[in-house]
Amino acid sequence: MSSIYEKHYEFNINDCTLAIIHSQIEQMLAPLPESVYADLLIALHELIINSCKEMELQNTPTNVIRIHIYQYTEVVIVQVNDSGRGLDDYTPVKYLCPFRENGRGLSMVMLLSDWFLTYPDINNHYSYYIIKKLY
């Protein structure tokens, strides 16, 4: 199955500002159908913020985040790859205090996605996949 649209972006969190990253992401998502643009923009933003915070906290040797976007006939797949520790301690938002100022990002990603999954890649990297159906 070949993709209709494909875009890739890589950045080092030490060399970019959030404004530059947001601008690049908006450009990457712009060709996608309107029906998925806003959901993917918010979900991608949340994953990038989580990746940046995690890599700063863990002081990882590589502070690179890779983003891959693939549009097929019926779905869009967004992959975010980082060198953080993954999601082994994720607690669903329904079990957290509703007035917390943090901890809702991944729940938002899950709500905005048709499917959301994580996968440990080689070299201690993790990939997060957002899959969105095109209706």
* Sheet with strand 115-120: strands edge to edge: 5-12, 64-71, 75-82, 126-133, 115-120
Residue pLDDT, tens place only, 11-49:
998 888 889 999 999 999 999 999 999 999 999 999 998
Residue pLDDT, tens place only, 74-131:
999 999 998 766 655 555 555 556 666 666 788 889 899 999 998 887 776 788 999 9
The residue behind tokens 């693939």 is 70
**What's the predicted TM-score (pTM) here?**
0.84
Q: Mark 1-11 as b/e (b = at least 16 C-beta within 10 Å).
A: eeeeeebeeeb
CATH of domain 5-133: 3.30.565.10
